[in-house]
Amino acid sequence: MTATMLVTGPKLVVALVVLTAVAAVVVTLGRLGHGRQIVVAAGRAALQLTAVSLLIVVIVESAAATAGFVLLMWAVAAATSGRRITGGRWAWWAALPIGAGSLPVVAALLASGLLPARGIAVVPVAGILIGGAMTATSLAGRRALDELTSRRGEVEAGLALGLLPRDATLLVCRPAAGQALVPALDQTRTVGLVTLPGAFVGVLLGGADPLTAGVTQLFVLIGLLAVEAVAVVVTMELVARDQLRPA
């Protein structure tokens, strides 16, 4: 154990349980409707991270296992985002924006040599990019569908004026879906002033110098902007073409 690492032990377990309970209680008292989901999410995170921690050494030593794990991350992200957006049989369409945003970037980084073709490098970078695409897809899809529900009359008015269904839908949902980029934009604008994100801290803890850590974090943030922009645009297109729809 070093002075720069989080101290593990019973105190950490107690802290995690207390923080989970606080989040669940506050959400329940605030009637936000996600109290049980917070507990379930925390429990799943603990189990999944434990499993990954035990398997990661084996995964990163094999190119085939690394590729399989990246595809598993993509599939789980697509299922999660799809359920969040539609909750129905059209959920699998969420795989398209997530894959279109993240997988070509990972492939380009490997082809250019910027990302070493080693599991220990590929898995975390792919995870960050797929996770960003998942978040952007979920936010864009939910915002777009909510906007279409509340402003259905405007879509019908557009159709009455001669607009194609796709164009009428985009006219209403595009501004709302674009809000999905706000978290990534705010994080990029304020990095180093408000937050020191995970890539920066992780590289520092790994023994690299601060400049290398800063460059790594800059790459991650700008890569996320590109990935999430593609994911949002593809999500809007799917909503406009009625491929992503409520259950």
Per-residue pLDDT of the chain (247 residues; tens, 9 = 90+): 444 456 778 888 899 999 999 999 998 988 888 788 999 999 999 898 888 888 887 888 888 899 999 999 999 999 999 988 887 667 789 999 999 999 999 999 889 888 888 888 888 889 999 999 999 999 999 888 888 888 888 878 888 888 888 888 888 888 888 888 888 888 888 887 776 666 666 666 566 677 777 777 888 888 899 999 999 999 998 988 888 776 6
SS3 191: strand
**Amino acid letter, 145:** L
Q: Residue 241 carries which DSSP code?
A: T
Closest by CA position to 85, among listed 20, 184, 173, 158: 173
Q: If you search the block for the tokens 């019973």, which residue do you land on?
A: 10
pTM of the model: 0.81
At residue 220, the pLDDT reads 84
Closest by CA position to 96, among listed 236, 223, 246: 236
- Rounded distance, CA 99 to CA 136, Å? 12
DSSP states of 45-92: HHHHHHHHHHHHHHHHT-HHHHHHHHHHHHHHHHHHHHHHHTSSTTGG
Sort residue 93 into left (φ over 0), alpha (ψ -120 to 50) or beta.
Answer: alpha
- Rounded distance, CA 131 to CA 117, Å? 20
- Rounded distance, CA 95 to CA 91, Å? 8
The domain segmentation of the chain, as residue ranges, is 1-60, 63-240
At residue 6, the pLDDT reads 64
C-beta contacts of 240-244 below 8 A and 24+ residues apart: 240/165, 240/166, 240/167, 240/169, 240/170, 240/173, 241/166, 242/165, 242/169, 243/90, 243/93, 244/85, 244/86, 244/90, 244/93, 244/94, 244/141, 244/144, 244/145
At residue 1, the pLDDT reads 43
- Rounded distance, CA 212 to CA 234, Å? 33
**Amino acid letter, 192:** G
Q: If you search the block for the tokens 């460059």, which residue do you land on?
A: 215
